[in-house]
Amino acid sequence: MRAYASGIFPMSDARDDPDTFWIEPEMRAILPLEGFKLSKSLAKTIRQDRFRLTTDQAFSRVIATCAAKDKGRQDTWINSDIEDAFCELHRRGHAHSVECWEDGELVGGLYGLAMGRAFFGESMFSRATDASKVALAWLVARMRVGGFTLLDCQFMTSHLQSLGAVEMSQADYLVLLQQSLGRDYQASVVFSSSPASSGVSAGAGDWGALDGVLATGAGPVSDDFSSTAASSPGKLILQALTQTS
């Protein structure tokens, strides 16, 4: 956690590589929460509630699937040490996952680390068309409703760029990072077994705020919703994505 607060993150050369390296790229990719690109087709998929979305219901499965070999991906950078560390961070309440389900099957998802008002996106996977895009849309909505300010994507990809990610220098990224973490994280990161005391500051984003919105059917800004909107998680997500702050 101190490493992430300093702007570096772990990677390995291969799934079965025992060595883990700390990475500090010259250029950093972030996805501005107000700049998420919502295509008409993706909005339609979300509005139709084709997928069922959950959070933190299958964290270990999500990271294991992200770490596994796949069609067109012969190896990954997530070795067993990184996987174990993130499962422990999840147990302590810092790492989170978003799961995308279809007909009871886990078909997409992502995971990452939440600190202060920043979320460090680590990896995502998709086993159905648009599943990872929908998971990312729900992540952005969750961050916007919860008061987060920085979505770190680490490296730019064409997939992330198509969804609104931008690239900046590491120096500029560090400025945004410190603004999002706040003074508590700039001074030190408290790391204990208690989620209530391990690095959580008064100004931290609220990961669970979206769950309250979905449970009550009330909009993230306005309670003026029709019964149809209130019964549709997808429509609430679309409002969270399109409302201006």
Query: pLDDT tens-digit profile of 57-99?
Result: 999 999 999 999 876 666 789 999 999 999 999 999 999 999 9
Average per-residue pLDDT for the chain: 88
- Cα dihedral 103, 107, 113, 117, rounded to 10, equals -60
In the chain the first and final C-alpha atoms are separated, in Å, by: 29
CA-CA-CA-CA torsion sign (44, 140, 121, 63): negative
Confidence at 191, pLDDT banded by 50, 70, 90:
very low
Whether the CB-CB separation of 4 and 10 falls below 8 Å is answered with no
Q: What pLDDT, on a 0 to 100 scale, did the predictor assign at position 68? A: 92
DSSP state of 174: H
pLDDT per residue as tens digits for the range 117-129? 999 999 999 999 9
β 27-30/52-55 pair status: unpaired
